[in-house]
Every structure is written in structure tokens, then in C-alpha cells.
């Protein structure tokens, strides 16, 4: 039952142009755009790392943002508005399984988006990876969990699909542009950097970039604390306020 | 045997009492109609019976189980079509059918169900490309995959064109012939008269009438109307016949409002005895729709007004 449901949801997901474009196409476009502007020549200023090397971990966060803050909450909000959640409640399926299958589908899409991004980056720019694979995966998992739990809050508290879309856009776009996920923060004016400190994804970008480029997890205590805090808060909020109908 | 017993059901949303002290039983194999104007509490009543809403007071038994406590045990015996469900438009018909098939231990074969509901050729179409009638037929197919003993159909035919509605009626009759019990809500009195063995008329959360269609019409106490044409002035002659409430004659056209069918016999005897010729005599019985209007809004006088 759960397997059939997840495959079903995955097929629907693949028919959604918006998600596919922003999860697979857009990050690669950003990569190629910035790569064309700055190239990936190692620079002594950045410790023998190229610009693309530096930006790549941030771009992976861009993918997490679209699956976690747009695709996941909008799918769930639509299901509630179209009374699909309610219809499933009148079957042997547990409504929670629907949420879990959405999380699975969006996780797979995230992984696919990142794989595609890394393949293109490797083929075009011969990027280098400086970190420890296990540490980076752990950091990445934390980013995914915290951003997805934020998405579940968006899905849970909005009264209808239109409100969910508005809220998702309001949260997604500032994070996309001001967290360092798409545009490096060091080229931003000071005010924007201040704003970025209030965006959860900023901490994800910092943590992931840090370990990706060879840092240790424990060097990023603040980032870890913020992401874990967001996760706990969001899981609490969505458990308390999630509306099935 | 009754498969559903509802007694003293009440449901409040905050200060709003949506359903007040509703009681009825549904016999196995019958088609039971919940009727009433918009917002009367039909859907709330139905959703309490399925266990989708928790009742505020009263008792409900479905196949011997309390739907609130044993919702999961009931699911394979109960098929549901909800009024507002809009299935994923990008999904294909067969994909949705496969999903529902995977939920049940002993599902019916969806391919033959699609054939039976004339959707066989639509199996590979997306939900978004289906017509309103096809979507509602698919909703029945999805409810039937569980092979349920009881089907709940909430405003299944609302918004369909007359042809599609008649098609659905035939399917509902078939479901009853298979021995399934059907509980339906509808706005169409013609539909209720044709399909329902028993109806329950709800207004503002309360039952205003229940019984067979004929019993409910009788409860509304609406006059029968007898009309005929004659060349004579008949009002003085007929005025004293029993049961007549009101009579009018305009030129050759006579209209009599009466509370009894006997008036017809008495009328013909009286006219024959007086050797008055008459033509085009016709008796009109009240329909469920007039009874509905009168019972739901007593200010409306049904056929008389």
C-alpha cells in the first residue's frame, strides 16, 4: 500500500513542470551562469579553490529549498483543499503515510537534483571536493530535515492552497536569493547580510559549505544549534497545528 | 435487518449546532436518502456515520460497530464518495484505481469495474480530461473497489447534465440489486422519489419528516388538484361536496383543491346525476418536491399558492 502510494505520488511529481524545473534545471542554470562569469580557476585569495568549487554546496541548498519549501507544502495543501486527504481518511490508509510518501518523493527529487548538478559541475568545471563524505552527508541530512519540517509547518497552518502558495513564495524567494544559496553573500550589501541572519537556510548554506570545503562539524556549533532548533520548533508546531481538513 | 442505527445524533461546531438529535435506521439492501436544503446538515450526518467527524452526542452503529472507535475495521465494508473530493488531475484513471486496489485485502477487479461503468476506454486518460459524469462514475468505481456492503454517496449527481444523471440512477439501482445498501444525499427530489426506499428530510439540523416517499408526501398534507372543462356553471352544484377546500371556475375551466381522492368519485357521480357533460378531467397528486418545499419552509403552501 505505502509502496504503491509512493510510486503513484512520484509519477504525479514527475508531471509537475514547476518542481522539475526548479529542482533540476534552475540550479544547473545558476551553476553555468556563475561559472561562465567567474570560471573555476583556483585563486590564492580563496585558498586554491575555484569560484564554482565554493558555490557548489550552496547550490545544493537551493534544491533543498525548492523541494522542501515549495513542492512539499504545496502538494499537501492542495491535497487538503481538494479533500483528497479526507477521502484517504475513509480508506485503510493512515493519513500520515501520505505525508511520509510526500517527504520520500521530495527527498528522492532532491537527491536527483543534486546528482544532476554534481555531474554537470564535474563535467564542465572539474570541481573538487575538500570535505569528508560522511560529515558532509550528515550536515546535508540536517539541512534537509530542518527545511522539510519548515515546509510541513507551511502546509499545516495555511487555510487553503492559495495561502500556502503565497506563504511558500514569501519564505522561498528571500531564502533563495538572500541566504547565499544562489548568490554569494560576500557580494551582497551589508543590510542584506543582516537580513540573511534571520533566514534558516543561511545556516544550512554556511554549515554545508563549511564541511564541504573541509571544515569539521563542530566548527559550526551555531549553525548546528539553529538548524536543530528550527527542526524541533517546526515539528512541534506542525504536530500541534496540522489540519487534515 | 438494519445495517445502520443512528440515535440522538448531535454535532456542534463551536456555537453552531449543525445536527440536532437526529435518529433513523437504515435497512440492509435499501437505498436511503438524506434530503434537505444546503447547509441542512446532510453531509455532517453522513460524515459522522463514516467516522470522518466525531459526534457531539448520540449513538451510531454501522454493521454493529461504532464508526468513531472502529473506523479502520469498517473501511473495507464501507465505500465512500465525498462531495468535495477533486482527485489529482495529473493522475491517470488506472493509476488511481491501482492505488485504491493496493489498500484493500480483497479488492474487486478495477478493470471490470471500469468496463461496467463504461470507463474502460478511459483507463489511460488523465483525471483532468474526464467529463463531470465520468468523474462521478470513477468516484463510484473507487468506492466499489473495497467491495463494500454499504456505499455512502454524497451529492453524487450535483452539477451533472440530465443524461448523465439518469445514467448514474441506473447504476445505483444495479448496486441495490447486488444487495448493497446505499446511503445518498441529494438535492434532486425526482432522483430521491425514483431511487430511495426511505428518505429522511433534514432542515437546520433537525429531522422534519421521514419514511417512504409516499409517507413523507402525506405528512406534508398538500391538496390534490382536480381539473376539468365543462360548458355549464358548476360551482353551486359542487360546493357542498365533502373534502373540498377551494374551487375556481373561469369560463369552462374548473379547478378543485381537495384533501381526499374520494372527491373525484363524488364529483363524477354528481355531474352525471345532473347530466352535465365534462371533458379533460385530470387529477394531480403532490410530488416530493412540493412536499419538500412545504416541510422545509412552512410559509410556502405547496401546490395551492
Q: How far is B85 from chain A (nearest CA, A)?
A: 5
CA distance linking residue B48 with residue A78, whole number of Å:
24
Residues in chain A within 8 Å Cβ distance of B80: 87, 90
Residues in chain A within 8 Å Cβ distance of B138: none
Asked if A11's CB is within 8 angstroms of B85's CB, the reply is no
B104 touches chain A (CB under 8 A): yes
Residues in chain B within 8 Å Cβ distance of A8: 91, 95-96, 98-99
Q: What is residue B303's predicted lDDT score, i.e. its pLDDT?
A: 42
Give B93's pLDDT tier (boundaries 50, 70, 90).
very high
Q: In which residue ranges of chain A is pLDDT below 50?
A: none
Question: For residue A175, what are the domain limits?
Answer: 2-241
Asked if A87's CB is within 8 angstroms of B98's CB, the reply is no
A87 touches chain B (CB under 8 A): yes
* Whether residue B269 has pLDDT greater than 50: yes
B153-206 pLDDT, tens digit per residue, is: 999 998 889 999 999 999 999 999 999 999 999 989 999 999 999 999 999 999
Pick B52's closest partner by Cβ from A11, A15, A86.
A86
Domains in chain B: boundaries: 2-214, 224-285
A 10-39 residues inside an 8 A Cβ radius of B: 11-12, 15-16
Contact B221, B259 (CB under 8 A): yes
Query: Cell 485485502 maps to which residue?
Result: B105
Q: How far is A93 from chain B (nearest CA, A)?
A: 6
When pLDDT is averaged across residues B224-248 and rounded to a whole number, the result is 90
Which has the higher per-residue pLDDT, A45 or B32?
A: B32
Asked if B87's CB is within 8 angstroms of A89's CB, the reply is no
Give, in degrees to the nearest 5, the angle at Cα A41 between A185 and A126: 100
Count how many pairs of residues, chain A against chain B, have C-beta atoms within 8 Å: 58
Q: What is residue A192's predicted lDDT score, i.e. its pLDDT?
A: 86
> What is this model's ipTM?
0.87
Structurally, chain A folds into a number of domains equal to 1
Question: Does B2-214 carry CATH code 3.40.50.300?
Answer: yes
Asked if A82's CB is within 8 angstroms of B76's CB, the reply is no
Question: Does B224-285 carry CATH code 3.30.160?
Answer: no
Amino acid at each position: 500500500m505505502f509502496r504503491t502510494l509512493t510510486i503513484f505520488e512520484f509519477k504525479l511529481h514527475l508531471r509537475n513542470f514547476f518542481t522539475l524545473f526548479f529542482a533540476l534545471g534552475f540550479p544547473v542554470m545558476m551553476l553555468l551562469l556563475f561559472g561562465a562569469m567567474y570560471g573555476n580557476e583556483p585563486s590564492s585569495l580563496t585558498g586554491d579553490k575555484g569560484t564554482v568549487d565554493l558555490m557548489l554546496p550552496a547550490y545544493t541548498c537551493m534544491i533543498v529549498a525548492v523541494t522542501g519549501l515549495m513542492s512539499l507544502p504545496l502538494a499537501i495543501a492542495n491535497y487538503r483543499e481538494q479533500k483528497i486527504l479526507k477521502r484517504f481518511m475513509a480508506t485503510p490508509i493512515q493519513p500520515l503515510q501520505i505525508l511520509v510518501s510526500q517527504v520520500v518523493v521530495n527527498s528522492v527529487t532532491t537527491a536527483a537534483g543534486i546528482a544532476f548538478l554534481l555531474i554537470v559541475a564535474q563535467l564542465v568545471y572539474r570541481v573538487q571536493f575538500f570535505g569528508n563524505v560522511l560529515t558532509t552527508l550528515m550536515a546535508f541530512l540536517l539541512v534537509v530535515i530542518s527545511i522539510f519540517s519548515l515546509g510541513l509547518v507551511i502546509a499545516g497552518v495555511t487555510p487553503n492552497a492559495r495561502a500556502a502558495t503565497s506563504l511558500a513564495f514569501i519564505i522561498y524567494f528571500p531564502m533563495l536569493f538572500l541566504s547565499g544559496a544562489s548568490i554569494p553573500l560576500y557580494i551582497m550589501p551589508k543590510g542584506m547580510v543582516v537580513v540573511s541572519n534571520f533566514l534558516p537556510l543561511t545556516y544550512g548554506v554556511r554549515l554545508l559549505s563549511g564541511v564541504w570545503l573541509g571544515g569539521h562539524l563542530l566548527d559550526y556549533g551555531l549553525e548546528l544549534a539553529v538548524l536543530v532548533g528550527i527542526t524541533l520548533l517546526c515539528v512541534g508546531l506542525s504536530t500541534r497545528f496540522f489540519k487534515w481538513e | 435487518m438494519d445495517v445502520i442505527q443512528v440515535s440522538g445524533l448531535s454535532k456542534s461546531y463551536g456555537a453552531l449546532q449543525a445536527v440536532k438529535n437526529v435518529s433513523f435506521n437504515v435497512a440492509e439492501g435499501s437505498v436511503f436518502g438524506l434530503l434537505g436544503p444546503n447547509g441542512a446538515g446532510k453531509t455532517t450526518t453522513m460524515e459522522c456515520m463514516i467516522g470522518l467527524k466525531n459526534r457531539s452526542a448520540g449513538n451510531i452503529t454501522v454493521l454493529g460497530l461504532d464508526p468513531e472507535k472502529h473506523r479502520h475495521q469498517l473501511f473495507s465494508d464501507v465505500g465512500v464518495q465525498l462531495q468535495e473530493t477533486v482527485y489529482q488531475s495529473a493522475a491517470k484513471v488506472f493509476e488511481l484505481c491501482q492505488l485504491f486496489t493496493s489498500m484493500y485485502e480483497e479488492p474487486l477487479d478495477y478493470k471490470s469495474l471500469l468496463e461496467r461503468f463504461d470507463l474502460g476506454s478511459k483507463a489511460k486518460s488523465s483525471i483532468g480530461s474526464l467529463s463531470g459524469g465520468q468523474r462521478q462514475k470513477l468516484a463510484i468505481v473507487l468506492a466499489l473497489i473495497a467491495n463494500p456492503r454499504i456505499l455512502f454517496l454524497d451529492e453524487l449527481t450535483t452539477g451533472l447534465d440530465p443524461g448523465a444523471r439518469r445514467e448514474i440512477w441506473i447504476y445505483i439501482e444495479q448496486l441495490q440489486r447486488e444487495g448493497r445498501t446505499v446511503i445518498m444525499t441529494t438535492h434532486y427530489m425526482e432522483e430521491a422519489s425514483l431511487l430511495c426506499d426511505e428518505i429522511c428530510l433534514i432542515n437546520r439540523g433537525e429531522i422534519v419528516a421521514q419514511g417512504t416517499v409516499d409517507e413523507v408526501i402525506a405528512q406534508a398534507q398538500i391538496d390534490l388538484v382536480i381539473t376539468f372543462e365543462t360548458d355549464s356553471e358548476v360551482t353551486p352544484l359542487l360546493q357542498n361536496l365533502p373534502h373540498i377546500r377551494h374551487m375556481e371556475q373561469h369560463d369552462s375551466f374548473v379547478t378543485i383543491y381537495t384533501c381526499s381522492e374520494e372527491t373525484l368519485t363524488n364529483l363524477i357521480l354528481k355531474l352525471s346525476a345532473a347530466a352535465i357533460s365534462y371533458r379533460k378531467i385530470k387529477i394531480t397528486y403532490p410530488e416530493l418536491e412540493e412536499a419538500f418545499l412545504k416541510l422545509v419552509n412552512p410559509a410556502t403552501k405547496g401546490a395551492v399558492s
